[in-house]
Amino acid sequence: MENNFELFFEKNNKTIEAYKKMPLQNVIFKISDSKTDDKEQILLQIVSLNKVSTKLPTWCNTPKILFPPSIHLEQSSSEIAADFKSKIVSNQLLIDLTGGYGVDAYFFSKRNKDVIYIEKYEKLFDISSWNFIQLKSNNITSINIDCDTFLNTFKSNVDAKEIMVYIDPARRDLNNNKMVSLQETEPNIVTLLPKIFKIATKVLIKTSPMLDIDTAIRELNNITLIYIVSIKNECKELLFLVEKDANVEPKILAINIENDTISEFSFYKNDEVAAIPNYSIPLIYLYEPSASMLKSGAFKLIATKNNLFKIAPNTHLYTSENINIDFQGKIFEIVADISLKQIKKYIIDNKINVITRNYPMTSQEVKSKYNLIDGGNYYLICFKNQKNITQTLFCKRLK
């Protein structure tokens, strides 16, 4: 297969390089008019280069990298997310049981002595293995096998305490419906764990951000750390570190990655239960927590740990007289307390952003009703206050 890939690039690399920055319609026209037998594959490479230029810049900037069908690119980690994962694990041997397109395995190889990449689908395996060579990842061993068979046959001289297993199980639901249980994934991580613990003592599990954290805690008895990972305030994935024989309350870390800065908010569930926040009417500054913090459910601790007042028990907005610039999330300066009927007095060309929290209408419904368009640095923030009365603030975003 390696020779076939080499031959493909010998024949077509100049074409790919020449066409990759052209508009897609021009590329389709030029390729359809050519005599090559590789039209479909050339088009796939060019489309992929443009589609994942931000998500996978290393792949896009490395010569002779092959891209798989788009579904595998969509399911793969971004480089930012994969790099974060690699920073939280360091072992003598890391085994990636669901290798996919190999992005995670590549970044793991930078901080672990050796990596074993497992992928059951032959075509995807061949592409990723070829790419590891182009990326000069010399400490990755690739094995084309399903993870269950691998676990039944694996033998190693490495102590189990020095082995970390990583698994990114896929949803069973092809319609992308909400995954409410780890037993609905493929492979079924709950039934697979006993086999994994025969060869390793630690497992890092990646799941969809839609997974319910409390359900996962009930299904996995040995969780020690839970990472909620957002990139630029968009929740991307949940990570569960499971350790053999562990019997502790898991620590939850809400992570937001913005450019080169990693912001972390950590807590234990029991601390959230015990927390007693103070409440206040809106003061000078208003705070909206990051996607990771909202996913974490630490609504009371967000107030107490950041020295903020909460607006209302079921309204997850916060306020203060003195700015907390290190807050993980959006920070606003309150300009005016207004009625939505007055909004036209405050905006130009109907342009303003809208946020709703614990409010009868969604942000989209508010925008539709008042003919508003997203844009600019000013926000309408609509919510219910401590008296359960709707309130609207006109705010300027500071962060």
pLDDT tens-digit profile, the chain (399 residues): 666 888 888 888 888 887 777 777 777 777 776 667 777 888 888 888 888 999 999 999 999 999 999 889 988 999 999 999 999 998 899 999 999 999 999 999 999 999 999 999 999 999 999 999 999 999 999 999 999 999 999 999 999 999 999 999 986 555 556 556 788 888 889 999 999 999 999 999 999 898 999 999 999 989 999 999 999 999 999 999 999 999 999 999 999 999 889 999 999 999 999 999 999 999 999 999 999 999 999 999 999 999 999 999 999 999 999 999 999 999 999 999 999 888 888 887 888 999 999 999 999 999 999 999 999 899 999 999 999 999 999 999 999
C-alpha–C-alpha distance, residues 1 and 112, integer Å: 28
pLDDT in tens, 37-49: 777 888 888 888 8
Measured torsion, CA atoms of residues 49, 54, 58, 60, in degrees rounded to the nearest 10: 10
Helices (H), the chain: 2-19, 24-32, 39-51, 57-60, 70-75, 79-87, 103-111, 122-134, 147-153, 189-196, 213-219, 269-274, 291-296, 299-305, 363-369
Select from 1.10.730.10, 3.40.50.150, 3.90.1150.10, 3.20.20.70 the CATH code of 74-248: 3.40.50.150
The per-residue b/e assignment along 306-329, b for 16 or more CB within 10 angstroms, e otherwise, is bebbbbbeebbbbbbeeeeeebbb
Answer whether 0.85 is exceeded by the pTM.
yes
Token pair 């949803």 in the structure block, residue? 171
Token pair 């930012």 in the structure block, residue? 80
Residue 58: predicted pLDDT = 96
Instruction: Show me where the domains of the chain are located.
Output: 2-51, 74-248, 273-397
- Contact (Cβ atoms closer than 8 angstroms) between residue 225 and residue 250: yes
Could you tell me the CA-to-CA distances from 145 to 8, 97, 149, 154, 325 in Å, in that order?
26, 9, 7, 11, 50
